[in-house]
Amino acid sequence: MGIISSGILQTNLNGYILKNPIITASGTYGYNNEYSDFVNVSTLGAIVTKAITLEPREGNKGIRIAETKAGMINSIGLENVGIERFLEEKLKVLKDENIEFIMNIAGSTIREYVELAKICDENKIKAIEVNISCPNVKAGCLEFGTEENSLYELVNSVRNNYRGILIVKLTPNVTSIEKIAMAAQKAGADAISAINTLKGTQIKINCQNGEINKTIISGGYSGKGIKPIAVGAVMRIAQVVNIPIIGIGGIETLEDVLEFFAAGAEAVEIGTANFTHPNISETIIKELEEYVKINGFKDIEELKKELRS
């Protein structure tokens, strides 16, 4: 688990400087150093924390995760320790181990988001990702993310109470993701992350002696099956906004990362693949640095420019 010290992968997200563009997605990497047995977490561009709410949440009951042939469906329901315990227990580890992090925040009302934003500002949290697009909770998140006026009001309210880097995570479950992205930019977002999970359902059927038994799980579908949708969304968003985009969806290889760069992403978040290949992020960072050097690019920015030409 070698330290990556070269500066050729340095990435600028509207003033938020990362050592490299590889980030781990919310809900797939815990709160801080849970993956330290597999990688040196401090070498990553950043981790995005589990979604944090004002109060602790137990999450959804019943089946929470179902594997599919091309990914997984999750119905976790934003289970988390709440902002108070995060600040008391989790934040110290992040600081002590020099782990760059983005706090993902979620709520059911604008007031809840604003309170979280104020707390993050008071505690000098450098960057937050506003989760307005979670499809597996009964209230909040998705409702804000599917209509541009509601999204604008929410993001603008957060912006007025938070001075750090504000990233807005968009849902693909909309008619026009371009309109949603433009509303986020107009409201004061510093960057956009896209996409969150799609709505999905799996039905497992078991038949014994003519009696049918069904197991149904609905929630957020993620994994390699959504990559073409995610790449297309990033490309469309890049045509209508001038703030950085963080691409998310089905990333498993260096080639996937390059595809998102070509579509217009400045950085990427790796999610579902962390569960099956817990060292994948560090592996891709090393492969990306080698790719830049071997192909004679000065740095990652020159590579991105060539990919988009």
pLDDT, position 1: 39
pLDDT score for 47: 98
pLDDT in tens, 136-171: 444 445 567 778 998 999 999 999 999 999 999 999
Is 120 part of the annotated catalytic residue set?
no
pLDDT digits 0-9 by tens, 29-52? 999 999 999 999 999 999 999 999
Structure confidence at residue 261 (pLDDT): 98
Instruction: Work out the pLDDT band at 9, boundaries 50, 70, 90.
Output: very high
Q: In whole angstroms, what is the distance from residue 71 CA to residue 66 CA? A: 9
* pLDDT surpassing 70 at residue 272: yes
> Averaged over 187-196, what is the pLDDT?
97
Percent of the residues in the chain that have a pLDDT greater than 90, as a whole number: 84
Which pLDDT belongs to residue 6? Answer: 61
**Whole-angstrom Cα distance, residue 133 to residue 247?**
15
Q: Do 37 and 57 form a contact (C-beta atoms < 8 A)? A: no
Looking at residue 301, its pLDDT comes to 98
pLDDT in tens, 48-106: 999 999 999 987 888 888 899 899 998 887 899 999 999 999 999 999 999 999 999 99
Delimit the domains of the chain by residue range.
11-60+77-198+221-307
**Residues 100-129 pLDDT 10s:** 999 999 998 999 999 999 999 999 999 999
Enter the CATH code of domain 11-60+77-198+221-307: 3.20.20.70
